[in-house]
Structure 1
Amino acid sequence: MDDQNKNLILATALSFVVIMLWFVLFPPPEATDTADMTAPETAQQTGQQTSEQGGDVAVAPGAADTGTATDTASAATAGEEPQQDDAPRIEIDTPELLGSISLRGGRIDQLALKDYRETLEPDSDIVTLLSPVGSEHPYYALFGWAPGSGLSPDQVPGANTLWEVETEGTLTPDSPIVLTWDNGAGLTFRREMSVDDKFMFTVTQSVENTGGDTRSLAPYGILARHGTPPDLKNFFILHEGGIRIVDGELSEIDYDDFEPASNHETIGVEQSAWTGFTDHYWMTTLIPEQRAGTKISTFKDTRREIFQTTAKQPTVSLGAGETATASTRVFAGAKEWETIRNYQNEQDVPKFLDSIDWGWFFFLTKPIFAVLHWLHNVIGNMGWSIIALTLIIKALLLPLAFKSYVSMAKMKELQPQMEKIKENAGDDRQKLQQEMMALYKKEKVNPASGCLPILMQIPIFFSLYKVIFVTLELRHAPWIGWINDLSAPDPSSLYNLWGLLPWAAPEPGSILALIFIGVLPLFLGISMWLQQKLNPAPTDPTQQMIFAWMPWVFMFMLGSFASGLVLYWIANNTITFTQQYLIMRSQGYKPDVFGNIKSSFKKKPKPEKK
């Protein structure tokens, strides 16, 4: 078997292993039953912060003293309060966000993303991010002060405090709102809430001691989520759940790995931190003031299925007439790469880009997406940007590919000498190896160099798949014609002759969809088949069968992959075909592509019967 065919078989085998491994590690998502989610329970005295009539809310941080703040659950009830639904609300209206803030606790608990819809349908609902207590899937941000020396839980604002509005109006980027609450025992609390034109809220809490005694208390922010998200993907390739950066170290906590509230770790911050929840495309995070002494905790109330992350800032002591102020930012929105990068670089949110799940090959996925994003800004279409990215990658690998193809051409020239060495060596394998190595050294040929471009493609393939799957910019991104979402499989199907027949294509993910492939997978199979035709078919019948079937096996296997990845592979095969054809001609070898195609359709003569 010549080395050209050896390398092609190696490429096929490696690709097959990659695909099989991918299907094992990253199986298609299972359908999620959203009907059986945990509903909020009626309030009761449980040693956790609740309203006697307002329903379950998050666990408040523990009491503060004159030194540090502890993290034991405190029994802080707000007394007889109205129902949650009766609390007045302040509207939120920005270029990107639509929602409201409840005066019950001053919670940010209604939020939707104006520019993102649930499906491709133009009349589809916009994406809902946060929901109040009493809804099907409560998810909200709240703030307060943990009591210290000289204070009881009902003397500090918490999850169910009914605030008053100091400044009327709608919360917009140009008009912040201010809430006030007087505890009737010498402390006056104010809360100023502002929002920018993207997804960042700033909550500034202040307290003034108008009494005569010294008081100590600690400001905190809480993100609480009742039950796991209804659209949880459960993909190995994607992290969804808790996420935090503490002093530069990234931690990702799956929902199954949340520690119970009764026994969870509290992490002290030395310089900087943020904490929150991340979904596939959306995220909510608390970003406290970047300073030492803040404590981060992430845990789960196992009885009520409430997931919670808390950022509690250092305890402050207030003498008579003194005022203390603390600020917490809240990111609640879409994981747009450019937006998150601006917050990281321009507003000093440490390592905020790591909130996007770049994976094990982050050293490749980050630059690959940065180039793809730049190309999209220039071209304006993500599909053509993927093709342009493929051209750039192939151009960078061209020196390696050229060396590989030249080496393969030289190996062909050396075939007569190699056959002679094999004849002379006979069964002496050591002599055969020594003489072969001497020949390679004399002719300056590296037989392994033909494998390098193949091996380089594997991490690039994984990285591009990761980029296409996790980044928001590929979600609902169209290319041409029927390809209206590059993050989803090709919606066309052989079942209805790719739209020519008057019935619908099979549902994506179904068995019929895997069998009746779309247009892009068909082009993928053809491109792989044409690439084979640069060389004559191997003489060995087994090899011929493998080569004949492999493009079409891959065509069906990759039919359920994201359209963007299949598009990349088609472009890669096409460019590789062109490169190899031109390099082979430059080395004096003229591939007979049409002749090889014709020979593949010729009937093989039947063996003569003896």
Structure 2
Amino acid sequence: MDNRNLLLAVVLSGLLILGWDLGLRYFYPEASMSAQTSPKAATAAAKGAGAPGANGTSAASGLGAEPAARKVDLKTALASGNRVAIDTPRLEGSINLVGARIDDIELKDYRETVKKDSGPVRLFAPEGTAVPYFAEFGFIANGARQPSNLVWQADGAKLTPTTPVTLTRTDASGITYRIRFAVDADYMITATQSVSNAGQAGAIIQPFALIKRTSANATIDQYASHSGPVGVFADTLWDPHSYDELAELGGESPKGAPDWLGFTDQYWLSALVPGDGKGNVKVEDAGFRSLGGKLFRTDLLYGATTVPAGGSLTQDTRLYAGAKDSQILDLYEESGITNFGLAISWGWFALAEKPILWLLRTLNSVVGNFGLAIILLTVIIRGLMFPIAQKGFASMAAMRAVQPKMKEIQERFADDKQRQQQEIMKLYKDEGVNPLSGCLPMLIQIPVFFALYKVLVLAIEMRHEPFILWIKDLSSPDPAHILNLFGLLPFALPEYSFLAIGPLAVLLGITMWLTFKLNPAATDPVQQQMFAIMPWIMMFVMAPFAAGLLLYWVTSNILTLAQQSYLYSKHPQLKAANAEAAAKAAKAAKG
């Protein structure tokens, strides 16, 4: 008994620790908005920016390292002048004429918090601020990168979808550099970099573009949703590293021609698209670098071209800076950017996930409430899966019916295992029973329900969507905490603590316990104890999950209860067998 209790304590403790780690750190990334860099990673980044990449090529590019930026607060940086405003239906911000940087981008369609007076989500911010994140466009001339503190001249005061803006600068040798910015109505900015050589001698020119950011405000990389460097190279998705892993490597230059590359968070994306996005542009370097201090950069350096006196050069690069809205990303992919929709971490079950997301959007447009849409979606999927579940129950009932005959065969041929197996297979054939048919329905359902789970994690449509009463944001944990009587007791619980139990988590525990009660009772007393306590452990483990996910699980459990009750009514032999097994298990436990 002592050994069994010890085993039970060890198993449950391990389950609790593992479940908490998975739930908080991996399955719900916004539980911590800071990607923590390990000491090992920080040391590697500080020592080895530009260290060899994993494929053996140097992660350092012709753009080189950068000096430390002077610290400045955001308001001061944006009020310093030398800026061209950006104003589109979805974006607002400005271009910094110092360095030709797009370092001020806000997303009009999304608020920072659920509060009505919250400002829009800030994606880009100037260098030197608390969370620097920006794109820069420039040139390398005769092997030297032009300084980032040069001031460009603009031919307009505002960049809109109907009014492009061109930045111009002429150097001492008579070469004029131009960057023409145009923007569409969504999130794509096109930078056309051109050179006109009015000097007396030729020049070797390389246009470049880069995105630089901090990981301090990045969402945590997780199995369900990648956060970190991402791109498509040679038509293949590349996203193997988190920021910590990239820091340990010092950087990496993936193999193959780049179709696009950048950085992704759970809901946001910044990406550079060379040329037409089909990997057919001459590129000398396209990769990612760790700059130390939680700073990272993705470089896009085009091949060197000799521009003779009187000659010119033009190169297009697009910059995506915005939300990971699957409909918008798919439109850009249809327009020619290879696999741009893979910026969303669909994974293996994309064929199921995209139709589920479409159905979720459609239901939301009909009922006008995302929570109700999740409930209806769960009902529809459960309904579609019901014939499969019914087949599984029918197989279980058939197997239960032949159990006495099977036990008789096992006793009769206890000393002849080969004959025993032959007789059992003959029994299956005579009775028309397939022992695998009970497992097959479950295997078919797993991808569908996993796809539904991923949709609820990935869908930006769920962000800041209310349900009813106290649930104002389905993408965040249930804000009501039972342990402090919903705020009546004089202590507060951390929002992402497993002790912050809300009504949805309690409902999850209760409905899971009820589903366990309907299942056949385990004969082993240790297993009985584990199944008895499992629902309440899962209640604590899942408390920090997004309210939308808990709503799905609670609805799914309720439908499971209804489904099991109905199927037991259709197969009374199963219910009787389960009751008999439960009675035997209880008797064994008392004994």
TM bucket normalised to smaller: 0.7 to 0.9
Task: Tell whether 2:233 aligns with 1:246.
Answer: yes
Where do residues 374-389 of structure 1 align in structure 2 (5 Å cutoff)?
A: 374-389=362-377
Where do residues 212-361 of structure 1 align in structure 2 (5 Å cutoff)?
A: 212-225=200-213, 227-235=214-222, 237-252=224-239, 253-258=241-246, 265=253, 269=257, 273-290=259-276, 291-300=280-289, 302=291, 306-345=295-334, 347-359=335-347, 361=349
Identity of aligned residues (%): 39
Distance of 1:74 and 1:100 partners within structure 2: 26
Distance of 1:74 and 1:478 partners within structure 2: 47
Query: Does the residue aligned with 2:330 lie in a helix, a strand or coil?
Result: helix
Deviation at 1:419, TM superposition (A): 4.2
Deviation at 1:331, TM superposition (A): 0.7
The equivalent residue for 1:45 is none
Deviation at 1:547, TM superposition (A): 4.8
Question: Which residue identity lines up with residue 104 of structure 1 in the other structure?
Answer: V
Task: Tell whether 2:134 aligns with 1:161.
Answer: no
Deviation at 1:274, TM superposition (A): 0.9
Number of equivalent positions = 540
Relative distance call for 1:548 and 1:316 in structure 2 (3 A) is closer
The equivalent residue for 2:46 is none
Deviation at 1:518, TM superposition (A): 2.0
Deviation at 1:114, TM superposition (A): 2.2
Deviation at 1:95, TM superposition (A): 2.2
Question: Which residue identity lines up with residue 482 of structure 1 in the other structure?
Answer: W
Post-superposition Cα deviations, 1:435-475, rounded to whole Å, max 9, x if no partner, equal: 33222211111233323344445444544433333332222
Task: Tell whether 2:353 aligns with 1:369.
Answer: no
Relative distance call for 1:104 and 1:536 in structure 2 (3 A) is closer
Distance of 2:294 and 2:509 partners within structure 1: 48
The equivalent residue for 1:209 is 197
Question: Which residue identity lines up with residue 294 of structure 1 in the other structure?
Answer: V
Q: Structure 2 residue aligned with 1:141, among 135, 139, 144?
A: 135
Deviation at 1:378, TM superposition (A): 4.1
Distance of 2:220 and 2:320 partners within structure 1: 22
Task: Tell whether 2:520 aligns with 1:572.
Answer: no
The equivalent residue for 1:41 is none
Relative distance call for 1:354 and 1:17 in structure 2 (3 A) is farther
Deviation at 1:75, TM superposition (A): 9.8
Does structure 1 retain, via aligned residues, the 8 Å contact 2:61–2:299? no
Distance of 1:304 and 1:24 partners within structure 2: 26
Does structure 1 retain, via aligned residues, the 8 Å contact 2:363–2:376? yes
Q: Structure 2 residue aligned with 1:407, among 375, 395, 405?
A: 395
Does structure 2 retain, via aligned residues, the 8 Å contact 1:498–1:519? no
Distance of 1:557 and 1:436 partners within structure 2: 43
Does structure 2 retain, via aligned residues, the 8 Å contact 1:224–1:306? yes
Deviation at 1:285, TM superposition (A): 1.0
Query: Does the residue aligned with 1:197 lie in a helix, a strand or coil?
Result: coil
The equivalent residue for 2:122 is 128
TM-score w.r.t. the length of structure 1 is 0.76
Distance of 1:236 and 1:536 partners within structure 2: 33
The equivalent residue for 1:63 is none
Deviation at 1:340, TM superposition (A): 1.3
Deviation at 1:103, TM superposition (A): 0.9
Does structure 1 retain, via aligned residues, the 8 Å contact 2:282–2:303? yes
Deviation at 1:107, TM superposition (A): 0.9
Post-superposition Cα deviations, 1:81-113, rounded to whole Å, max 9, x if no partner, equal: xx9885511112222222111111221111122
Query: Does the residue aligned with 1:295 lie in a helix, a strand or coil?
Result: strand
Distance of 2:164 and 2:287 partners within structure 1: 30
Does structure 2 retain, via aligned residues, the 8 Å contact 1:117–1:126? yes
Relative distance call for 1:604 and 1:494 in structure 2 (3 A) is farther
Bigger CA drift: 565-574 or 24-33?
24-33
Query: Does the residue aligned with 2:173 lie in a helix, a strand or coil?
Result: coil
Does structure 2 retain, via aligned residues, the 8 Å contact 1:264–1:297? no
Post-superposition Cα deviations, 1:206-236, rounded to whole Å, max 9, x if no partner, equal: 22222343333122111122x4233442545
Question: Which residue identity lines up with residue 165 of structure 1 in the other structure?
Answer: A
Distance of 2:516 and 2:103 partners within structure 1: 58
Does structure 2 retain, via aligned residues, the 8 Å contact 1:406–1:584? no
Does structure 2 retain, via aligned residues, the 8 Å contact 1:477–1:486? yes
Distance of 2:16 and 2:348 partners within structure 1: 18
Q: Structure 1 residue aligned with 2:82, among 73, 83, 88?
A: 88
Deviation at 1:329, TM superposition (A): 0.9
Q: What is the aligned-residue RMSD (CA, Å)?
A: 4.1
Where do residues 48-59 of structure 1 align in structure 2 (5 Å cutoff)?
A: none
Query: Does the residue aligned with 1:578 lie in a helix, a strand or coil?
Result: helix
Relative distance call for 1:296 and 1:257 in structure 2 (3 A) is farther
Bigger CA drift: 317-326 or 347-356?
317-326
Question: Which residue identity lines up with residue 393 of structure 2 in the other structure?
Answer: Y
Distance of 1:261 and 1:588 partners within structure 2: 61
Deviation at 1:588, TM superposition (A): 5.9
Structure 2 unpaired stretches of 5+: 1-11, 39-48, 51-59, 68-75
Does structure 2 retain, via aligned residues, the 8 Å contact 1:99–1:111? yes
Question: Which residue identity lines up with residue 581 of structure 1 in the other structure?
Answer: S
Question: Which residue identity lines up with residue 130 of structure 1 in the other structure?
Answer: F
The equivalent residue for 1:67 is none
Question: Which residue identity lines up with residue 578 of structure 1 in the other structure?
Answer: A
Distance of 1:260 and 1:218 partners within structure 2: 29
Distance of 2:565 and 2:294 partners within structure 1: 61
The equivalent residue for 1:173 is 161
Relative distance call for 1:88 and 1:34 in structure 2 (3 A) is farther
Structure 1 unpaired stretches of 5+: 1-14, 38-57, 60-69, 78-82
Question: Which residue identity lines up with residue 114 of structure 1 in the other structure?
Answer: K
Task: Tell whether 2:103 aligns with 1:112.
Answer: no
Question: Which residue identity lines up with residue 332 of structure 1 in the other structure?
Answer: A
Distance of 2:433 and 2:250 partners within structure 1: 66
Does structure 2 retain, via aligned residues, the 8 Å contact 1:25–1:236? no
The equivalent residue for 1:509 is 496
Distance of 2:418 and 2:160 partners within structure 1: 80
Relative distance call for 1:436 and 1:296 in structure 2 (3 A) is same
Does structure 2 retain, via aligned residues, the 8 Å contact 1:268–1:294? no
Q: Structure 2 residue aligned with 1:435, among 423, 432, 435?
A: 423
TM-score w.r.t. the length of structure 2 is 0.78
Distance of 1:382 and 1:214 partners within structure 2: 61
Query: Does the residue aligned with 2:216 lie in a helix, a strand or coil?
Result: coil
Max radius of gyration: which structure?
1
Post-superposition Cα deviations, 1:385-425, rounded to whole Å, max 9, x if no partner, equal: 32233233323433321221111222333344334434434
Does structure 2 retain, via aligned residues, the 8 Å contact 1:26–1:237? no
Deviation at 1:319, TM superposition (A): 3.7
The equivalent residue for 1:557 is 541
Higher helix share: 2
Question: Which residue identity lines up with residue 283 of structure 1 in the other structure?
Answer: L
